[in-house]
Chains A and B, each alone.
Chain A
Amino acid sequence: KAGVTQTPRYLIKTRGQQVTLSCSPISGHRSVSWYQQTPGQGLQFLFEYFSETQRNKGNFPGRFSGRQFSNSRSEMNVSTLELGDSALYLCASSKRLAVADTQYFGPGTRLTVL
Protein backbone atom coordinates (compact mmCIF):
# COMPACT_ATOMS: atom_id res chain seq x y z
CA LYS A 1 0.00 0.00 0.00
CA ALA A 2 1.04 3.59 -0.53
CA GLY A 3 3.26 5.17 2.10
CA VAL A 4 3.03 8.54 3.77
CA THR A 5 3.10 11.35 1.25
CA GLN A 6 4.05 14.94 1.90
CA THR A 7 3.57 17.90 -0.36
CA PRO A 8 5.32 19.92 -1.47
CA ARG A 9 8.74 18.32 -1.20
CA TYR A 10 10.59 21.60 -1.40
CA LEU A 11 9.53 25.11 -0.56
CA ILE A 12 11.28 28.47 -0.54
CA LYS A 13 9.70 31.36 1.32
CA THR A 14 10.80 34.74 2.63
CA ARG A 15 10.68 36.01 6.18
CA GLY A 16 7.25 37.11 7.29
CA GLN A 17 5.36 34.89 4.90
CA GLN A 18 3.27 31.97 5.94
CA VAL A 19 3.36 28.39 4.67
CA THR A 20 1.11 25.33 4.68
CA LEU A 21 2.46 21.82 4.45
CA SER A 22 0.36 18.77 3.73
CA CYS A 23 0.59 15.16 4.84
CA SER A 24 -1.44 12.20 3.64
CA PRO A 25 -1.12 9.22 5.97
CA ILE A 26 -1.17 5.57 5.09
CA SER A 27 -4.70 4.38 4.44
CA GLY A 28 -6.32 3.30 7.70
CA HIS A 29 -3.96 5.29 9.89
CA ARG A 30 -5.69 7.76 12.16
CA SER A 31 -2.73 9.35 13.90
CA VAL A 32 -0.50 11.93 12.29
CA SER A 33 2.53 13.46 13.98
CA TRP A 34 4.72 16.30 12.81
CA TYR A 35 8.42 16.82 13.49
CA GLN A 36 10.93 19.52 12.71
CA GLN A 37 14.41 18.29 11.80
CA THR A 38 17.40 20.62 11.82
CA PRO A 39 21.13 19.82 11.86
CA GLY A 40 21.66 21.39 15.27
CA GLN A 41 18.53 20.26 17.08
CA GLY A 42 17.79 16.91 15.50
CA LEU A 43 14.15 15.88 15.42
CA GLN A 44 11.79 17.83 17.58
CA PHE A 45 8.17 16.91 18.09
CA LEU A 46 5.67 19.52 16.92
CA PHE A 47 2.26 17.98 17.47
CA GLU A 48 0.13 14.89 17.02
CA TYR A 49 -3.40 14.59 15.73
CA PHE A 50 -5.74 11.69 16.18
CA SER A 51 -9.32 11.60 14.94
CA GLU A 52 -9.18 15.29 14.02
CA THR A 53 -8.12 16.33 17.53
CA GLN A 54 -4.74 17.59 18.62
CA ARG A 55 -3.64 15.11 21.27
CA ASN A 56 -0.23 16.46 22.07
CA LYS A 57 1.91 19.46 21.32
CA GLY A 58 5.62 20.06 21.55
CA ASN A 59 7.40 23.17 22.75
CA PHE A 60 6.97 25.40 19.73
CA PRO A 61 5.54 28.93 19.49
CA GLY A 62 1.96 29.55 18.49
CA ARG A 63 3.09 30.42 14.96
CA PHE A 64 3.10 26.68 14.39
CA SER A 65 -0.34 25.17 14.06
CA GLY A 66 -1.98 22.21 12.46
CA ARG A 67 -5.17 20.42 11.81
CA GLN A 68 -6.46 17.06 10.71
CA PHE A 69 -9.34 16.36 8.41
CA SER A 70 -11.95 13.63 8.57
CA ASN A 71 -10.00 11.55 6.05
CA SER A 72 -6.96 11.74 8.41
CA ARG A 73 -5.00 14.00 6.09
CA SER A 74 -3.19 16.68 8.01
CA GLU A 75 -1.83 20.12 7.38
CA MET A 76 0.57 22.21 9.35
CA ASN A 77 0.86 25.95 9.06
CA VAL A 78 3.68 28.25 10.02
CA SER A 79 2.87 31.94 10.09
CA THR A 80 5.27 34.88 10.10
CA LEU A 81 8.20 32.78 8.98
CA GLU A 82 11.61 33.32 10.54
CA LEU A 83 15.00 32.30 9.23
CA GLY A 84 15.23 29.70 12.00
CA ASP A 85 12.19 27.92 10.63
CA SER A 86 14.30 26.57 7.78
CA ALA A 87 14.20 22.83 8.33
CA LEU A 88 13.01 19.47 7.10
CA TYR A 89 9.45 18.94 8.28
CA LEU A 90 8.56 15.30 8.69
CA CYS A 91 5.16 13.78 9.02
CA ALA A 92 4.53 10.32 10.46
CA SER A 93 1.40 8.25 10.61
CA SER A 94 0.32 5.34 12.76
CA LYS A 95 -2.85 3.36 13.26
CA ARG A 96 -3.26 4.44 16.87
CA LEU A 97 -1.73 7.09 19.03
CA ALA A 98 1.94 7.01 18.27
CA VAL A 99 3.92 5.75 21.25
CA ALA A 100 2.57 2.22 21.34
CA ASP A 101 2.39 1.87 17.60
CA THR A 102 4.84 1.87 14.71
CA GLN A 103 5.19 5.26 13.07
CA TYR A 104 5.72 5.44 9.33
CA PHE A 105 7.50 8.57 8.16
CA GLY A 106 7.08 10.48 4.95
CA PRO A 107 10.05 11.85 2.98
CA GLY A 108 9.57 15.32 4.42
CA THR A 109 9.13 18.84 3.13
CA ARG A 110 12.33 20.89 2.92
CA LEU A 111 11.47 24.48 3.86
CA THR A 112 13.98 27.22 3.19
CA VAL A 113 13.29 30.68 4.57
CA LEU A 114 15.24 33.54 2.98
Chain B
Amino acid sequence: AQSVTQPDIHITVSEGASLELRCNYSYGATPYLFWYVQSPGQGLQLLLKYFSGDTLVQGIKGFEAEFKRSQSSFNLRKPSVHWSDAAEYFCAVGEITGNQFYFGTGTSLTVIP
Protein backbone atom coordinates (compact mmCIF):
# COMPACT_ATOMS: atom_id res chain seq x y z
CA ALA B 1 0.00 0.00 0.00
CA GLN B 2 1.06 3.52 -0.64
CA SER B 3 2.37 5.50 2.30
CA VAL B 4 4.21 8.67 3.11
CA THR B 5 6.54 9.09 6.06
CA GLN B 6 7.71 12.35 7.50
CA PRO B 7 10.17 11.25 10.18
CA ASP B 8 10.42 14.61 11.91
CA ILE B 9 7.32 15.59 13.86
CA HIS B 10 8.75 18.92 14.90
CA ILE B 11 11.79 20.95 13.82
CA THR B 12 13.16 24.18 15.25
CA VAL B 13 15.54 26.36 13.27
CA SER B 14 16.96 29.82 13.70
CA GLU B 15 15.91 32.54 11.31
CA GLY B 16 18.38 32.69 8.45
CA ALA B 17 19.47 29.09 8.85
CA SER B 18 18.96 26.47 6.19
CA LEU B 19 16.12 23.98 6.35
CA GLU B 20 15.57 20.44 5.17
CA LEU B 21 12.34 18.56 5.80
CA ARG B 22 12.39 14.87 5.07
CA CYS B 23 9.82 12.84 3.20
CA ASN B 24 9.94 9.18 2.26
CA TYR B 25 7.28 7.42 0.25
CA SER B 26 6.26 3.94 -0.63
CA TYR B 27 4.76 3.61 -4.08
CA GLY B 28 5.19 1.05 -6.82
CA ALA B 29 5.25 3.28 -9.86
CA THR B 30 6.69 6.73 -10.49
CA PRO B 31 4.81 8.89 -8.07
CA TYR B 32 3.35 12.32 -8.27
CA LEU B 33 4.88 14.12 -5.29
CA PHE B 34 3.76 17.26 -3.54
CA TRP B 35 4.69 19.52 -0.66
CA TYR B 36 2.05 21.62 1.02
CA VAL B 37 2.24 24.19 3.80
CA GLN B 38 -0.48 24.90 6.34
CA SER B 39 -0.45 28.02 8.47
CA PRO B 40 -2.51 28.09 11.67
CA GLY B 41 -6.22 28.30 10.94
CA GLN B 42 -5.65 27.99 7.23
CA GLY B 43 -6.07 25.36 4.58
CA LEU B 44 -3.15 23.82 2.73
CA GLN B 45 -1.18 25.72 0.11
CA LEU B 46 0.81 23.96 -2.58
CA LEU B 47 4.54 24.74 -2.39
CA LEU B 48 5.72 22.57 -5.25
CA LYS B 49 5.08 19.35 -7.11
CA TYR B 50 7.00 16.74 -9.07
CA PHE B 51 5.54 14.69 -11.87
CA SER B 52 8.53 13.88 -14.08
CA GLY B 53 11.65 15.37 -15.60
CA ASP B 54 14.23 17.35 -13.66
CA THR B 55 14.49 15.87 -10.20
CA LEU B 56 15.14 19.23 -8.57
CA VAL B 57 11.91 21.16 -8.38
CA GLN B 58 11.55 24.84 -7.57
CA GLY B 59 8.51 26.08 -5.72
CA ILE B 60 7.06 29.20 -4.24
CA LYS B 61 8.49 31.15 -1.30
CA GLY B 62 12.04 30.08 -2.12
CA PHE B 63 11.48 26.37 -1.47
CA GLU B 64 12.89 23.54 -3.54
CA ALA B 65 12.67 19.76 -3.35
CA GLU B 66 14.72 16.94 -4.80
CA PHE B 67 13.27 13.63 -5.96
CA LYS B 68 15.62 10.71 -5.32
CA ARG B 69 14.16 7.52 -6.71
CA SER B 70 16.90 5.31 -5.23
CA GLN B 71 16.07 6.57 -1.74
CA SER B 72 12.30 6.95 -2.26
CA SER B 73 12.66 10.45 -0.93
CA PHE B 74 11.40 13.89 -1.76
CA ASN B 75 13.01 16.24 0.75
CA LEU B 76 12.07 19.90 0.96
CA ARG B 77 14.79 22.52 1.35
CA LYS B 78 15.17 26.23 1.82
CA PRO B 79 18.56 27.95 2.06
CA SER B 80 17.51 30.68 4.49
CA VAL B 81 14.41 30.43 6.66
CA HIS B 82 12.23 33.43 7.49
CA TRP B 83 10.08 33.78 10.59
CA SER B 84 7.00 33.65 8.35
CA ASP B 85 7.92 30.10 7.31
CA ALA B 86 6.77 28.79 10.69
CA ALA B 87 3.93 26.42 9.82
CA GLU B 88 3.03 22.77 9.31
CA TYR B 89 4.46 21.11 6.23
CA PHE B 90 2.92 18.09 4.53
CA CYS B 91 4.37 15.78 1.94
CA ALA B 92 1.92 13.91 -0.28
CA VAL B 93 1.93 11.21 -2.92
CA GLY B 94 -0.63 11.16 -5.69
CA GLU B 95 -1.66 7.74 -6.86
CA ILE B 96 -2.28 7.91 -10.56
CA THR B 97 -4.35 4.78 -11.01
CA GLY B 98 -6.63 5.32 -8.07
CA ASN B 99 -6.58 9.10 -8.36
CA GLN B 100 -6.03 9.46 -4.66
CA PHE B 101 -3.65 11.34 -2.41
CA TYR B 102 -1.75 10.01 0.56
CA PHE B 103 -0.42 12.56 3.00
CA GLY B 104 2.31 12.32 5.58
CA THR B 105 1.51 13.24 9.16
CA GLY B 106 3.27 16.55 8.82
CA THR B 107 6.30 18.35 10.22
CA SER B 108 5.77 21.36 12.42
CA LEU B 109 8.37 24.07 11.89
CA THR B 110 9.26 26.61 14.54
CA VAL B 111 11.51 29.51 13.63
CA ILE B 112 13.37 31.26 16.41
CA PRO B 113 14.80 34.77 16.03
Chain A residues near B (Cβ < 8 Å): 4, 33, 35, 41-45, 48, 55-56, 58, 90, 92, 97-100, 102-108
Pair count A-B, CB < 8 A? 60
Cβ contact within 8 Å between B41 and A55? no
Apart from the given pairs A33-B101, A90-B43, A100-B96, 5 other A-B contacts in the complex at a CB distance below 8 Å:
A4-B43, A41-B105, A45-B101, A56-B99, A100-B94
Cβ contact within 8 Å between B100 and A43? no
A92 to B46, CA, bound (A): 11
Across-interface contacts of B51 in A (CB, < 8 A): 100
User: A41-B105, A42-B90 known; A98 and B44 CB under 8 Å?
Assistant: no
Cβ contact within 8 Å between B96 and A99? yes
A99: which of B36, B42, B95, B106 is its contact (CB, 8 Å)? Answer: B95
Chain B residues near A (Cβ < 8 Å): 32, 36, 41-46, 49, 51, 90, 92, 94-96, 98-106
A106 to B101, CA, bound (A): 16
Cβ contact within 8 Å between B99 and A43? no
A104 to B49, CA, bound (A): 13
User: A99-B32, A100-B32 known; A42 and B46 CB under 8 Å?
Assistant: no
Cβ contact within 8 Å between A98 and B49? no
Cβ contact within 8 Å between A45 and B49? no
Cβ contact within 8 Å between A98 and B43? no
Cβ contact within 8 Å between A102 and B46? yes
User: A41-B105, A42-B90, A42-B106 known; A97 and B43 CB under 8 Å?
Assistant: no
Across-interface contacts of A103 in B (CB, < 8 A): 44, 46, 101
User: A102-B49, A105-B45, A107-B43 known; A45 and B105 CB under 8 Å?
Assistant: no
Kindly provide the distance from the CB of A92 to the nearest chain B CB, expressed in whole angstroms: 8
Cβ contact within 8 Å between B43 and A99? no
Give the nearest-CB partner of B98 in chain A.
A56
Kindly provide the distance from the CB of A5 to the nearest chain B CB, expressed in whole angstroms: 10
Cβ contact within 8 Å between B99 and A107? no
Cβ contact within 8 Å between B104 and A42? yes
Kindly provide the distance from the CB of A99 to the nearest chain B CB, expressed in whole angstroms: 4
| 12 contacts across the A-B interface (CB closer than 8 A) | A33-B101, A43-B103, A43-B106, A58-B100, A97-B99, A98-B94, A99-B94, A100-B32, A100-B51, A100-B96, A105-B44, A105-B45
